Amino acid sequence: MARAVILPSQTSTQTLLFAIPRIPLTIWKLPFMSRQVLCKCSSAQAAPAAAVVDMAKYKEAFARRMAMAGLKPHHRLAIGVSGGPDSMALCVLSAHWKAQDFSEKCDNGGFIDGLLAIIVDHGLRPESKEEANTVSNRVSKMGIRSCIACCDWPDGHPKQGHLQEAARDMRYEMFQNICIQNRIGVLLIAHHADDQAELFVLRLSRNSSVLGLAGMPFTSQIFSTHTHSCTEVSRNHGILVVRPLLDLVKEDMYKICEGSNQVWVEDPTNQSQLYARNRIRLFLKDSTCAFRSELQAVIAACRKMRRYVDHICSNLISQAVTFTDLGYAVIDLEILNQSEIEDICMTKFIALVLKFISQRNRPIRGSTSKLLLNYVRTLPCKTSFTAAGCYISPAPGSRGMKALVCVSVDSPLPLKMGLSRLHFQVEQEHSTPDEIEQIISDSKSCADSLVPNKSDVHFLEGNPESILTGARKLGMISESTHTNILLLHQEEIKNFKSSKVAADYKSEHGVKSASTSRSEQLQPGQICCFMDRFFVVWNLSEEDTDDATSEEANLDGVLEAESRYCCCRSCGFGHDTVVEVRNMIEPDWLYLANLSKCQTSENFQEQRHSLDNGLEQTEEKTNKCLDYARLSAQRALVSLRSIPLAARRGLPVLVNGEGLLLSIPSIGFKHCPRLATSATFKPKVPLGGGHTSFI
């Protein structure tokens, strides 16, 4: 896990925006090749020196895109900055957009209020610290406050084979951490249309569907894998990522930097043929304008298709799925099959439901996808099976007209998806929740107005090659463009198949199962995120913690004298009790059934000894809580009967160090009236992965 060290930028005298003096050309030596800081005249791709850059055009286009994202100049924003022409251009446009009335929108340090540049020092080269400081100074002179996040690699630097992927994951983790620490909910990224073209060809070679070929979304949300509060379950709004430059190309980045007298960094490692993106980038760089323009037309068609599919899936979820606060879902197959839904929409819909229930972010492909599609298409459903981290079966009492979807606790999960502990270094929520909700609401309104009709979309079916063929028949691309894309596609397929990077990455990072034996100790008042689905907490109260029945109230009177102590002396349960959290197993509800039948303390004591394999506990210490536990078990069994058997296994339970069941918070069972427990179903990643827009 990476850790960030924040280095505040140096306070500098504010200079006039877009009138920044030129910085002399410098050379940074790398161990394997040189890295050169280029000014506008040293780049072969830069606009001619005599050309006049129409900055007003770019500023107006940027303002329109920000409005489409639901953003206004007063919103707090962060920018991911590397120092290259793309991120420097984004800084230029963002600074102008945020500070149009420059004199009234600066903080005490002379920086534009509510704008932060995040510079990630990956620490992979000796020169990286100096380079990060240089970039920080440059954005500071634009009036943008900056901070440097220094990455730490406890397990050593990533291998060369998957260096780019590991660095990207680390970078976005740093972005999230810095945004949360600075109470910022929106992150701007400088991806542009040429990046989309690279991704299109890359995914084409990976046999991606039309949904994947739509590329990067205009807006999306990323969610932290950590919990940033140790005292309460806060709303996880994630970080809203906005890419406002997707309508521009690389050449525009250079023009924007030139028009504002900016310098930037060109990294020669981008010329390396080792990485697929670099090979594709160099190919596109040498291609004709017509080729690039036609390629963008195909991408636009795929994005339109993606908007249509996402809209259909949203409607299906609201009409045909019931999600419970116990962590499972029921799909109404009759409603689902009343209208003719395209396979691509149905497949996407199923994937969204399963990913939400399992909290796995893996794509569902191939035979698994076909199996799921056939299952929901068949009425009535009769079989049960495990797929994509979920257990799917006919819903009880539905005669096969509804399908139950619950988490499969024995399915392989990524390492980070098991029972995870909280991180205590951050005690505050990022940004204002209501503000983020309003931004997303405004963005959705704009996106909903641009949803196409079915007659306006193409590529509802087919593999990548058929999509290209369809584009040629529709006149989107010429014969020569079609041929060149196929050649590039086939070449990258060869490179992909011969590469061992994916295998190396999987073997190093691996997966493990969330088996029934997994548990972790939990201290009183500490929140545990169980399987990324439930927030679990326990404590010992001085007063009764729930609404008691009349019989339980009488028992509470007996225990009233104990309330002033830090533990319940009736059963010996206290703050020093070792509590573990695990998922529910079959012996738990058998235990409840036997406990509910015990009519006397003596009978219960005998039953408890038999159930707990000879656990020794004197009757003197337990008698006062036994009747309460019996009544609590009876009440819990009533709730348990309404929960499908398969879904029970995903519920969190609290046990002591010897394995004795203490509480099942989701159904209200607990052994002691002084024990306060809760389990809130709050998946870390919301349904559909949060707000996403492909406009």
* 501-530 residue pLDDT tens: 444 434 343 333 334 445 668 888 888 888
pLDDT at 455: 92
Q: What is the structure's pLDDT at 588?
A: 94
* 8 A C-beta contact, residue 575 and residue 524: yes
CB 215 within 8 A of CB 199: yes
For 474, phi then psi, to 5°, come to -80, -5
User: What's residue 188's pLDDT?
Assistant: 98
CA atoms of 103 and 143, how far apart (whole Å): 11
Contacts of 592-595 with C-beta under 8 Å, sequence gap 24+, read 592/633, 592/636, 592/637, 592/640, 592/661, 592/664, 592/669, 593/633, 593/637, 595/629, 595/630, 595/633
Q: 3-state class of 268 per DSSP? A: helix
Would you state the pLDDT for residue 19? 34
Sequence-distant (≥ 6) Cβ neighbours of residue 285 within 8 angstroms = none
Quick check: 387 and 394 in contact, CB under 8 A? no
Residue among 328, 338, 337 nearest 358 (CA): 328
| Domains recognised in the chain with CATH numbers | 53-192+212-271 (3.40.50.620), 518-543+566-599+619-694 (no CATH)
Strand partners, 664: 669
Please give the C-alpha separations between residue 537 and each of 87, 233, 326, 679, 685, in angstroms, as whole numbers: 43, 9, 16, 7, 20
Q: What is the 3-state secondary structure (H, E, C) of 215-259?
A: CCCCEEEECCCCCCCCCCCCCCCCEEEECCCCCCCHHHHHHHHHH
H-run or E-run covering 323: strand 321-323
pLDDT of residue 225: 61
Is-contact 105 112, C-beta < 8 A?
Answer: yes
**Cα dihedral angle (98, 103, 106, 108), rounded to 10 degrees?**
180
SS3 616: coil
* Distances 128 to 29, 135, 140, 464, 597 between C-alpha atoms, Å: 11, 11, 18, 40, 68
At 97-117, the pLDDT tens digits run 998 755 446 766 789 999 999
**Is the separation of the CB atoms in 142 and 261 below 8 Å?**
no
Helix (H, G, I), strand (E, B) or coil at 682: coil
Report the C-alpha gap between 139 and 132 in whole angstroms. Answer: 11
Give the torsion through C-alpha atoms of 298, 280, 93, 133, to 10 deg. 160
Q: What 3-state class would DSSP assign to 106?
A: strand
The position carrying tokens 């509470």 is 556
Q: Within the chain, which residues score under 70 in pLDDT?
A: 1-51, 101-105, 107-108, 160-161, 225-237, 268-269, 411-432, 496-520, 542-575, 599-624
Q: 3-class DSSP state for residue 638?
A: helix
